[in-house]
Structure 1
């Protein structure tokens, strides 16, 4: 119960901050991430309800809530991470540094993520009814998530290396793009660690070591996913969204440009991009 309450608070605070950041910066591609954070919060409420029923009898509703929502939340995190990389590429005029077209980059990974999400959510629902097929669908969905996330990390790293060797002018104008790439790596690695542990958990089954020791879900799922949400709180992609809006509207006044709109005395100056 204590652990469940702690994670309800941790995810609740991070989720609330994400909602404020998303609306304040109009970072709408973070909607899936925010929904995932909400799922995590509600999922641990389900664990608290189950803990309250200890030592039983346990009812099905809290089990379904925690099983499905905690299971599928990282897939929603992944969707926003995929979309952020595509926007970073667009922001830096870095399409030539990709090994595939930017539009296809986002589509391929998001489609794979949606497929993984559907398999895991349907598997979680079947598992709650006692169907053996549910476990199979969850494992397949987690494997698909691992494959696509592994490929995503490779694609992001290749882009990072190529554009670092041949930087565009935007790379110099927007040097903070590197910290957003770093946040993508951190969140991706955390999701990979969590997914590997969950795959092993479901392969071992109900009598497996991981399933029988509750600490694993709190360390390798709860703590790891909370660190992922906090990483995106700390390095929020609002700057990226602002630059994208600037480029698409032709205003020419993004984060880097705003710094040039004031003289040394703090007086706002007209700025005409060359």
Structure 2
């Protein structure tokens, strides 16, 4: 290894290809702490408990960057490497789960079920189930990679998990886009559902588009990163992680906070959902 600050793990094997920046890790730990605290306050005020997955994702980012800061002086130790690798890889899966839940509730809140490609009662279940599969595959792969023994298998499994996430997001964006087009074109009452105001259905969809685009770019970057392998450019140059992952995920959390769901709208959606479940029994 060219970097004199690197320490070997076992038998001359190096977990890192560079010494992680202490300053960058601290900066992003502070940034994610701030935005996660803001989300906690918003959750306490709104009581939209399904949004807690966004907060859990933010907490994972904080832990990941704290571990990364610790690893800057402990590049030969396994635990900091494992924690930062796992806790920075998985949060977007939780952000995506929240986005899936919001789409179903948005459609239900405007009585737009007939315009959805997927039946609303199945929409969240299908996407969140696929999201959970991606989560477990990536988590298991990160564990394999952390041992330093099955790096190639771990990298391939990460790519599989990320590809599942990319495909899911493509289907999700198509579902949201088709609903958006159909509802505003064919429903004469579309404008009555807070179309132009804060928390309206249109603003909720635009928020989802923005978050989805950020997560999609990040996931494609991660696919490329792990496809190129341990010696590829992304995994040997730290700036790529911050530009194509950390900055994008921080932006996603900020966007979700600023254009957050309307509590009244989504509480109404929950009531409609409960009524629909009761009537089907």
Residue equivalent to 1:206: 230
Residue equivalent to 1:12: 33
CA contact (8 A) 2:106 2:269 kept: no
CA contact (8 A) 2:118 2:175 kept: no
Which residue of 36, 57, 67 maps to 1:46?
Answer: 67
CA RMSD, 1 decimal: 1.5
Matched, 1:36 2:94: no
CA drift at 1:4? 0.7
SS in 1 for 2:260: coil
CA distance in 2, matches of 1:233, 1:216: 25
SS in 2 for 1:52: coil
Residue equivalent to 2:80: 62
CA contact (8 A) 2:184 2:190 kept: no
CA drift at 1:247? 5.7
Which residue of 94, 101, 107 maps to 2:125?
Answer: 107
Give the direction of change, closer, same or farther, for the CA distance of 1:248–1:8 in structure 2 (3 Å limit).
Answer: closer
Give the direction of change, closer, same or farther, for the CA distance of 1:51–1:25 in structure 2 (3 Å limit).
Answer: same
Residue equivalent to 1:218: 242
Q: Please report the TM-score for the alignment, with normalisation by the length of structure 1.
A: 0.86
Q: Please report the TM-score for the alignment, with normalisation by the length of structure 2.
A: 0.84
Instruction: Point out where structure 1 has 5 or more consecutive residues left out of the alignment.
Output: 251-274
Instruction: Point out where structure 2 has 5 or more consecutive residues left out of the alignment.
Output: 1-21, 273-281
Residue equivalent to 2:178: 158
CA distance in 1, matches of 2:128, 2:188: 27
CA distance in 2, matches of 1:248, 1:139: 35
SS in 1 for 2:61: helix
CA drift at 1:138? 0.8
CA distance in 1, matches of 2:270, 2:163: 37
CA contact (8 A) 1:143 1:199 kept: yes
Give the direction of change, closer, same or farther, for the CA distance of 1:185–1:103 in structure 2 (3 Å limit).
Answer: same
CA drift at 1:246? 3.8
Residue equivalent to 1:26: 47
CA distance in 2, matches of 1:243, 1:230: 21
Give the direction of change, closer, same or farther, for the CA distance of 1:223–1:244 in structure 2 (3 Å limit).
Answer: closer
CA distance in 2, matches of 1:190, 1:178: 19
SS in 2 for 1:99: coil
Matched, 1:244 2:266: yes
SS in 2 for 1:236: coil
CA contact (8 A) 2:104 2:123 kept: yes
Which residue of 150, 153, 159 maps to 1:133?
Answer: 153
CA drift at 1:100? 2.1
Residue equivalent to 2:111: 93
CA drift at 1:242? 2.0
Matched, 1:71 2:89: yes
Give the direction of change, closer, same or farther, for the CA distance of 1:156–1:249 in structure 2 (3 Å limit).
Answer: closer
CA contact (8 A) 2:29 2:62 kept: yes
CA distance in 2, matches of 1:246, 1:88: 10
